Chains A and B, each alone.
Chain A
Amino acid sequence: MIKEKIFLFFIKSIVLIITIIIFGIFGYLFYNGIKVINLDFIFSMPRNFMREGGIFPALIGTFLLITLSITVSLPFGITTAVYLSEYKPKGFLSDIIKISIKTLSSVPSVVFGLFGYGIFVNAFGFGVSLISGALTLSILSLPIIISSTLEALGMVPQSYREASMALGATRWETIYKVIIPAASPSILTAIILSIARVAGETAPILFTACVFYQEKLPSSLFSPVMALPYHIYALISEGTDPQIHIPIAYGTSVVLLTLVIFLSLYAMIYREKRRKYDKIRY
């Protein structure tokens, strides 16, 4: 039938066009970025107001922001998921916790930035600093960690819990020795995915943590940092010399993109394998 042929052709060509656009864009980005990337670009300090040298402080800044924010949000995230999955899946308070998580996950990232600016930078007096940015990011990543940990815990079969209880283990022993170990690979994947997401966030650190140019690495929790995503933005908006700054922005984008894609691809492939394995095992 002619109508069906046209319809299928239409759908297929749209899919093809999207794929071509996406690969075209990122091919172009990599083509331009690869030119400036070398060891010196990645591992050296910027010099002469970002005209020479590399992006090492931005890389370290992003690394510190991620590590700190995950360190803060992980204990809260996992315990919340454990509570909702193992202790009280239903009930008034659990419903309220679930609603707050849902609400938190729908808050735009710039509002987190505002919040962090209002509370950590101003009210607590931390100033524009590593710790303000990391705390802001940790609240942003909280709902992501909770919902993926909940999913991971939900995949552990009920028979594990029953078997453990039947052997005389208490609830905590069951959680600690049976459920968490069984769910830990999936939890790990979830953490890697949320790291990939947090690494690229710009709006929350825009006015809580970041500066454009720093010749030294941050010396304490209270010093401002450079970060990869903010660096791309700053090079475009504050860069005075496009001839020099645009190529650096290409290079920084490629570094950030490689980091994010590598982390997510690793987590996603691992997750697919795990799902297949779980299907056979359970």
Chain B
Amino acid sequence: MNNEKNKILKERTIEKIIFIFSLFSIFSLFLIIMILFRESLPSIKEVGLIEMIKGREWYPTDLENPSFGFFPLIYSSIYITILSLIFSIPLGLSLAIYISEIASEKIKSILKIIVELISMIPSVVFGFVGVSILVPFIQKTFNLSTGYCVLTASIVLALMATPIIATLCEDSLRMVPLNLREASTALGANKYQTITKIILPAASSGLFTAIILGAGRIIGETMVVLMLSGGSAMIPESVFDPARPITSAIASEMGEAVKGSLHYSALFAMGMILFIISIAISIIAEFLSKRYSLKLGKGR
């Protein structure tokens, strides 16, 4: 009887311990939000969040009249993200269509391994490849004063995002039920017609989700833009201008910002904005993918 009681007690204790350990992820998220908020508070109080987002000048280290305008940085982030999406969507989508609809089983499994391997490659290696191959190439081809520009960063980011977008797109193409394909083929449609008229429209909102998630990855990517975008905190006027996206500004300035200064605090505020953008993107994607799976059922 006593033994039985001990056993129950042991079970309960273990469950409690596991429960407490599993609260750790909530706790870390809470800590992240708290730290971002606490450290960015001085700059929000001093300058004002809206003022910072609207501000067009980023001269945080100016001794007499420092200004903390995030606009050029946010603009650069969005500009680079959109440009690299323009490159990576056709590539990723073609890769996904090939893997999901065209390739034989063997090629399919090899390609899937290659795609996953590429997505494991550290971003700093991509950045280095960009510096050593693409920067001189772009500079020569377009006859620029420097090869470090929006275009270079976007191309390398696109290369990095392609496997991610391809994997996500392939997942949503695979969700299209087999009977849609069969029905289309039975009606005499060829592969081209089946893919463009049946599969892509049916998978469209899934593909859209994939692209949004890809955008989330690109906007948060740090090393590639830090190494390739040139770093000037101006609003880039063309793809050949250097730029300084949010992530690059945080990474390059945090080391030199004096702890407790307004600059330090403003960088945390920027981190908070980036945090909010990424979460908003993932919520939108989640919402879309829920609707998508409702529309298509469980898939094949």
Contacts and interface: CB of A to CB of B under 8 A. Distances in A.
A190 interface: no
A70 B287 CA distance: 32
Interface residues of A, number: 82
A108 B22 contact: no
Contact of B114 (A1, A19, A111, A200): A19
B190 A29 contact: no
Contacts of A272: 109
A172 B11 contact: yes
B24 A25 contact: no
B25 A107 contact: no
Interface string A228-257: 011011001100000000100110010011
A272 B13 CA distance: 37
Contacts of B191: 4, 7-8
B86 interface: no
Contacts, number: 236
Task: Give chain B's interface secondary structure class.
Answer: helix
A119 B25 contact: no
A108 B281 CA distance: 12
A38 interface: no
B167 interface: no
A223 interface: no
B129 A229 contact: no
Interface stretch (B52-60, B120-128, B176-184, B290-298): B120-128
A206 interface: yes
Given A201-B122, A229-B124, A106 B282 contact: yes
Specify which of B17, B28, B192, B247 lies most central, judged by the most chain A CB atoms within 10 Å of its CB.
B28
Interface string A165-194: 000001110000000000000000000010
Contacts of A268: 113, 116-117
Interface residues of B, number: 80
Contacts of B122: 199-202, 229, 256-257, 260
Contacts of B113: 265, 268
A15 B118 CA distance: 14
B283 to A, nearest CB: 9
Given A29-B129, A76-B24, 9 more contacts: A15-B95, A110-B271, A111-B275, A114-B36, A202-B223, A233-B128, A246-B132, A253-B129, A256-B124
